[in-house]
Structures are given as C-alpha cells and as structure tokens.
Copies of this chain bind each other. A is one copy, B any other.
Amino acid sequence: MTNVKGILAGYSKELDSHIDKFLPFEKPDNLMEATVQYPRAGGKRMRPAMVLAAAGAVGGNKEDAIPLAVAIEYIHNFTLIHDDYMDGDEKRRGMTTIHVKYGGPTAILAGDALFARAFEVIAHLNVPDSVVRGVLKIVTRAVWDLARGQQMDVNNENGEEVTMDEYIETIRLKTSVLFAAGAAGGALIGGADSRTVDAVHEYAMLLGVAFQMFDDVLGLVGDPVKLGKSVGNDVRKGKSTVMVTHALKSIKDQSVMSEFRSILGKANASEDDIRKARKIMEDAGSVDFAVKMAEDYTRRAIAKLDVLSPGEDKEFMIALAEYAMKRDV
C-alpha cells in the first residue's frame, strides 16, 4: 500500500533546498524575512507533490517540474499570508503570522513579492517556450480564481447565507484551482497531450473539493491539539459549510433550530456552545452527509485517472485522494 505520508515527506525534503534557492536574500531585510517565513516552515506540501507526481505519471521527467512545484508552493503561501491578515489570524502552524510580526503593510508586500517570484520561477522553467506559455495560462487563471473564491469566502463569513452549490463553487475557486493548476502544469511539463492534461486537471479539482470539505469536518470534530488550532471557528463565523447548510435544511424541531441559529455566527461562542452546535449537526446527520459527499468527490477524482498508465506516480495520486479523507490533520 502506498505510504502517502512517507512520500509527501520525501518530496518535502527534496523541495526544501529549492524553496530557498529561488528566494535569494535581497534588501530590505524585514521584507525578505517575512517573505521566506511561510515557504520555509513546511506544511503538508500536497500541492507541490501533486505537480511532481503528475509530471511523472504522464511519463515525464520530474526534475523538469521542480521549479513549478516551488512556484505553486509560493503561490499557496502568498495566499496564506494575505488570508491570515484579512482574517486577523494570529497563529499559523504554531508560528506568529506575518502581519502580527512585521505589520500589515509588510504582510501585503511579502505576499506580493512571493506572487511575483512564483511567476519569475515559471519564466525560467527549463522547458520549451511553448510549455512556459501553457503553464502561465493555467496558473494565472488559477490565481485570478483564487482571489474570487477568497472574496466569496469573505462575503460568506460576513453572514451572507449561501446555498450548498454556491459553497461548493467557493471551494472550487478558493482551494481546488491551485491543486488543479499544479497537476495540469505538471502534466504539461511531463509532455502529456491535452486530453490527459484536462483529465488530471479535473482529478485535482474534485480532490480539492473533497479535501476542503473534509477540512471543514475536521474543523468541527477534529482534535484541536493535532490540528494546532481551536475547532468550531466556522460556526463562530457563521460560515455556510456543507454541514451547516445541510443542518439548516434538516432540523425539524423549532427549539433545536432556534438554539442552532443562536450559536451560528456568534463570534464569542464558548466551547460549550460549539459542542452543542456540533451535537445538533451530528444528530441531524450533517457531519455524515459532508463526509459522504467528500468521499463521493474522492471517488470521482480517482476515476479521472483512468486515462493514465499504471505506475507508482499514478498510485500515489490515487492514494493522495484517499489520504485527503483519512487524515487527522
């Protein structure tokens, strides 16, 4: 059986030296320190791993795809820096966030700098010019969509109730598109034909939805210690996750509904409030519903890979989709 965590750790180790190589230290110091902090800090590195696996799975040379893997990780980190500032989050993976440590302006600029460097790395890819252009088209479109998805999320968190379809569209834009751009870009660099590039793109779009949906589940019922953050924050923000939308449609008892609504969006909800809201959603079958829906997306994602020849990179991509649903962090 494919050891996803082990393979991710291997990719992560390989990437670390390249992450630094493409971020030479220039003036001013405070901007550079802010720029390198998140990329150096690690994380699951799922996105860059997907770039490399896709390049290999289509029969290409993974080495050629390393700069794109780094660029996708920079883009992911640029969005984290900006998101943390927007959300006013003070901690990420146990570290003080950039805007708290260096101030808001530096957080904005560090994100912008990483964004620019990501595309500079793409410009220098050691592949034919036509492939650079193709990768550029895919990745620029993804970043445009990321901004749209993040704005939808902001609007949603400002209490605008959305339908389940709208929430899934938000996830697609906010999370899936970068997975998909990485996978499709990797496949393109690996020399895949357009049908294969499209299939790999769709795989990653579906996987991204499953990943984010299960992330929402963990954010409610996960272990705060393992996650490194408190649970229930989506409830406090009144976010229309799949679980919340399902519960609002399913709860029949008016007193339960009014209790649920009284906690939803309550910024200072206590841990006891969160436990109550969680219990209400569990009783309404909303958590199971979200897990099943995520599983369904995972299955559909894996089916898209039928176009690929068998091999260990394909196996890893299948296992990565399953891992999105099995992880505890």
Contact = CB atoms under 8 A, between A and B. Distances in A.
Contacts of A117: 140, 144
A178 to B, nearest CB: 12
Name the 8 nearest CB pairs between A and B, nearest first: A129-B129, A120-B140, A116-B143, A86-B105, A31-B151, A113-B147, A123-B136, A116-B144
Query: Which residue, A26, A27, A141, has most C-beta atoms of chain B within 10 A?
Result: A27
Interface of A: 26-28, 30-31, 82, 85-86, 104-106, 108-113, 115-117, 119-120, 122-124, 128-130, 132-133, 136-137, 140-141, 143-144, 146-148, 150-152, 154-155
B112 A86 contact: no
A144 B27 CA distance: 11
Copies of chain A in the complex:
2
A196 B148 CA distance: 40
Contacts of A119: 119, 136, 140, 143
A143 B112 contact: yes
Contacts of A151: 28, 30-31, 105-106, 109
B123 A140 contact: yes
Given A31-B147, A129-B130, 15 more contacts: A31-B151, A82-B109, A85-B108, A105-B150, A105-B154, A109-B154, A110-B147, A112-B112, A115-B143, A116-B140, A119-B140, A122-B136, A123-B136, A123-B137, A124-B137
Nearest to A120: B140
Contacts of A140: 116-117, 119-120, 123
Among A30, A119, A120, max chain B CB count under 10 A is at: A119
A109 B120 CA distance: 21
Given A120-B137, A136-B119, A136-B132, A106 B144 contact: no
A274 to B, nearest CB: 25
Nearest to A86: B105
A28 B113 contact: no
Nearest to A106: B151
Contact of A28 (B108, B110, B129, B152): B152
A111 B141 CA distance: 15
Nearest to A79: B112
27 contacts: A26-B148, A27-B152, A85-B108, A86-B104, A86-B105, A86-B109, A106-B151, A106-B154, A108-B108, A111-B112, A112-B112, A113-B147, A115-B115, A116-B140, A116-B146, A116-B147, A119-B119, A119-B143, A120-B137, A120-B144, A122-B136, A129-B129, A129-B130, A129-B133, A132-B132, A132-B133, A136-B136
